[in-house]
């Protein structure tokens, strides 16, 4: 529960920071606005063609009675639109980050400087390289997201479960992967590969859900994603500093070592070198995982 509350606090602190630094808030709005226009157009088009897609996807219902056929295809169309909407919530941050890479990168850097400084050994790539890494990482995260959203989409047709349990699980899945996407700005700076980002956040699921689930719900509200995006990047940067042991910044571990807390930066507060760029420690080259692995029992990636 502590991590759950910490994630929510990081989200709030990020929003407070950008409101106090209006220049960066303004810079972060434009990429989010462009992304919103693109997504709104895609979802509107899907709304117009959802019935045709449902008809194409359910040929087995052609010989059914009109009531059964209409009900089946109506449920399919609604579930399809809801499934795409949940996927849009997860990918919105990734697309906005790609469009606004220079802005969000600078915003994140400025926040880290104001909270104690950038980690030593920060990985610095040319812009084209950063964009390529971000694109590849986003595709990987999208693939992992689909592994959860597709089964949830199918479970949506199960009576009662599809209308109660599935939406809650959908928000949790969307919130977790939304946190992964937003944390990528700070973790890519530290040279942490995308697979290890997932491991770090799985070790701190409550932290990731406390940050991402409320944000995923907020992103469902039309137009709200645009003003929240700059603060979401700032809040995720604070969260990254917690994960890597650089700082507790208002979280449950503020002012005390992170050693012994599940998923805390390896070696934080214990005298063991932190491979992810904590104070005094250089970050590893991008794509090279630290050795030996610091998560879970021996032999587990």
Structure tokens at 295: 């998560």
Span 19-29, average pLDDT = 86
Q: Which alpha helices (DSSP H) does the chain contain, by range?
A: 2-20, 22-57, 66-99, 101-114, 127-155, 161-189, 194-203, 205-219, 225-243
For residue 246, count other CB atoms closer than 10 A to its CB.
27
Write the pLDDT tens digit of every residue in 121-135.
Answer: 566 667 777 778 888
Q: Which two tokens stand for residue 267?
A: 């070696």
Average pLDDT over residues 42-65: 84
pLDDT in tens, 59-104: 887 878 878 888 888 888 888 887 888 788 878 888 888 888 888 8
Q: In this structure, are residues 38 and 95 in contact, taking their beta carbons and an 8 Å threshold?
A: yes
Q: Compute the distance between CA of residue 147 and CA of residue 126 in angstroms, rounded to an integer.
A: 32
Residues in contact with 148: Cβ distance below 8 Å, sequence separation at least 6, in sequence order: 173
Is the separation of the CB atoms in 277 and 191 below 8 Å?
yes
Task: List, in order, residues 6 or more apart from 157 with CB less than 8 Å away.
Answer: 75, 76, 79
Query: Could you read off the pLDDT of 230-270 as tens digits, one per residue?
Result: 999 999 999 999 888 765 333 333 333 333 333 344 333 33
The residues, any chain, with a CB within 8 Å of residue 45's CB and separated by 6 or more, are none
pLDDT at position 288 over 50:
no
- In terms of Cα–Cα distance, which of 83, 96, 240 is closest to 162? 83
User: 156 in helix, strand or coil?
Assistant: coil
Reported as a single tens digit per residue, the pLDDT across 176-217 is 999 999 999 889 888 889 999 999 999 999 999 999 999 999
Structure tokens at 271: 């005298």
Look at residue 45 in the predicted model and tell me its pLDDT. 87
pLDDT in tens, 146-178: 888 888 888 887 888 877 898 899 899 999 999
DSSP state of 264: P
> Mean of the pLDDT values across residues 35-59?
86
């Amino acid at each position: 529960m502590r991590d759950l509350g910490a994630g929510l606090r990081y989200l709030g602190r990020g929003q407070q920071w950008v409101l106090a630094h209006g220049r960066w808030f303004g810079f972060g709005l434009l990429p989010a606005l462009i992304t919103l226009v693109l997504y709104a157009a895609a979802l509107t088009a899907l709304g117009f063609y959802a019935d045709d897609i449902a008809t194409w996807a359910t040929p087995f219902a052609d010989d059914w009675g009109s009531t059964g056929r209409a009900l089946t295809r109506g449920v399919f169309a609604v579930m399809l639109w809801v499934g795409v909407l949940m996927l849009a919530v997860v990918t919105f941050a990734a697309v906005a980050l790609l469009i606004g890479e220079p802005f969000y990168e600078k915003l994140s850097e400025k926040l880290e400087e104001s909270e104690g400084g950038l980690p030593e050994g920060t990985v610095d790539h040319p812009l084209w390289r950063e964009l390529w890494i971000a694109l590849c990482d986003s595709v990987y995260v999208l693939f992992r997201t689909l592994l959860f959203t597709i089964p949830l989409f199918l479970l949506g047709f199960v009576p009662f479960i599809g209308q109660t349990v599935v939406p809650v699980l959908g928000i949790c899945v969307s919130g977790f992967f939304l946190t992964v996407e937003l944390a990528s700005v700070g973790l890519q700076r530290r040279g942490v590969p995308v697979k290890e980002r997932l491991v770090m956040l799985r070790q701190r699921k409550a932290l990731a859900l406390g940050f991402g689930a409320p944000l995923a719900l907020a992103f469902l509200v039309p137009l709200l994603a645009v003003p929240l995006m700059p603060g979401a990047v700032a809040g995720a940067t604070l969260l990254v500093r917690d994960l890597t042991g650089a700082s507790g910044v208002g979280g449950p571990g503020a002012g005390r070592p992170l050693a012994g807390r599940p998923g805390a930066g390896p070696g934080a507060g214990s005298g063991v070198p932190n491979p992810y760029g904590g104070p005094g420690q250089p970050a590893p080259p991008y794509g090279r995982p630290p050795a030996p692995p610091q998560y879970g029992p021996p032999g587990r990636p």
